[in-house]
């Protein structure tokens, strides 16, 4: 399996066994509008699926896109900057983390000005990788002033500088036909049409009113964003793209993608057990299912089709033999 460069909240490595069933047999272009740690891109890359197809990766996080571009364009400079951070971390631990975060990374980022992705240097990319490997849960979070404020994580021996892996990631991103854009999903999805395979993994809708959206950007991703995404997904499917979407099983998401317009576009909703199923009691576990929404052909013989009847939205069947449950 192709391993992502970064840990990312909502990273999809654990959902790959389910997602793989919906990868189309053939496509001419792969589009990932919410790329994050790009678990699906690296999975397709490792499986040799980009021999021919072009690839468009996009996200609205300038640090993420800036880091990928710096790694792609000069992996050796990133490795040269990352190796001493690893040595320093082994000597100074938490003190090193806060020193890098507050005295080096944040001031250097601030000097770039917005949006910063184009000006990201190998030194900044190395620091982002270091903070990602050693910070709390690999989170990326900014305070109101726009400074990265994730506290140090508790790892006894974090892997920080894996030079060969940085080179592998750089080769994947530098392959002919791969583009990396700082762009909102509307722009990326709006360009999808026949021959395209699109994987959409937005920040998940919260399952309860008290749970909050994963905050990848200062603006967050709210109900209106999910509504615009649903419309853009339906439009892309209508233009002939194969679309695969993952999201939480929040009722409004299930409703949105079992609505008539979504069904007419050929989209079907399937429930899969969530990766972090924390409750072993089946009745309660249903609440943490995730949804897979797609117009890709059903994998042979494995699944029951989702109910298409109006008013039956809440009873979308769960996928059998799915991951994590």
Ligand X SMILES: C[S@@+](CC[C@H](N)C(=O)[O-])C[C@H]1O[C@@H](n2cnc3c(N)ncnc32)[C@H](O)[C@@H]1O
- Residues in contact with ligand X by CB under 6 A are 8, 10-12, 33-34, 36-39, 59-61, 184-185, 201-203, 216-217, 221, 225
In angstroms, give the least distance from the CB of 315 to ligand X. Answer: 26
In angstroms, give the least distance from the CB of 325 to ligand X. Answer: 20
Separation between Cα atoms, residue 16 and residue 173, nearest integer Å:
20
**Cis upstream peptide for 115 (omega within 30°):** yes
In angstroms, give the least distance from the CB of 58 to ligand X. Answer: 6
Q: Which is nearer to ligand X, 162 or 181 (CB)?
A: 181
Q: Which is nearer to ligand X, 5 or 124 (CB)?
A: 5
Q: Which is nearer to ligand X, 37 or 89 (CB)?
A: 37
Closest residue to ligand X, judged by C-beta, is 36
> Where do the DSSP E strands lie in 18-145?
29-32, 54-59
Query: Which of 78, 68, 74 is CA-nearest to residue 180?
Result: 68
Burial of 136 (0-12, 13-18, 19+ CB in 10 A): middle
In angstroms, give the least distance from the CB of 30 to ligand X. Answer: 13
In angstroms, give the least distance from the CB of 310 to ligand X. Answer: 30
Separation between Cα atoms, residue 199 and residue 22, nearest integer Å:
10
Q: Which is nearer to ligand X, 37 or 258 (CB)?
A: 37
Tell me the CA end-to-end span of the chain in Å, nearest whole number: 21
Residues 6+ apart with CB under 8 A from 21: 299, 302
Q: Which is nearer to ligand X, 8 or 27 (CB)?
A: 8
Residues 6+ apart with CB under 8 A from 134: 89, 97, 152, 153, 155, 158, 160
């Amino acid at each position: 399996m192709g391993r992502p460069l970064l840990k990312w909240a909502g990273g999809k490595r654990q959902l790959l066994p389910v997602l793989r069933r919906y990868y189309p047999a053939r496509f001419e272009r792969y589009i990932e509008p919410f790329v994050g740690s790009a678990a699906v891109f690296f999975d397709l890359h490792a499986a040799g699926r980009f021999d021919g197809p072009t690839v468009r990766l996009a996200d609205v996080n300038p640090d993420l896109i800036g880091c990928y571009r710096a790694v792609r364009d000069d992996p050796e400079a990133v490795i040269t900057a990352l190796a001493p951070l690893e040595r320093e971390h082994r000597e100074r631990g938490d003190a090193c983390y806060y020193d890098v975060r507050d005295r080096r990374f944040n001031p250097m980022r601030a000097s770039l000005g917005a949006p910063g992705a184009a000006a990201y240097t190998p030194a900044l990319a190395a620091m982002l990788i270091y903070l990602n490997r050693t910070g709390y849960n690999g989170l990326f979070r900014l305070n109101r002033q726009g400074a990265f404020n994730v506290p140090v994580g508790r790892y006894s021996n974090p892997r920080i500088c894996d030079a060969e892996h940085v080179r592998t990631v750089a080769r994947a991103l530098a392959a002919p036909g791969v583009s990396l854009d700082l762009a909102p999903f509307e722009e990326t999805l709006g360009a999808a049409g026949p021959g395209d395979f699109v994987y959409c993994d937005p920040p998940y809708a919260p399952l309860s009113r008290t749970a909050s959206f994963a905050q990848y950007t200062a603006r967050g991703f709210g109900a209106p964003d999910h509504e615009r995404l649903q419309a853009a997904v339906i439009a892309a499917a209508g233009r002939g793209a194969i679309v695969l979407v993952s999201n939480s099983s929040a009722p409004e998401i299930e409703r949105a993608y079992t609505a008539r317009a979504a069904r007419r576009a050929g989209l079907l909703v399937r429930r899969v057990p969530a990766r972090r199923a924390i409750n072993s009691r089946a009745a309660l576990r249903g609440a943490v299912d995730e949804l897979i929404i797609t117009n890709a052909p059903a994998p042979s013989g494995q699944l029951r089709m989702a109910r298409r009847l109006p008013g039956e939205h809440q009873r979308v069947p769960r996928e059998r033999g799915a991951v994590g449950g």
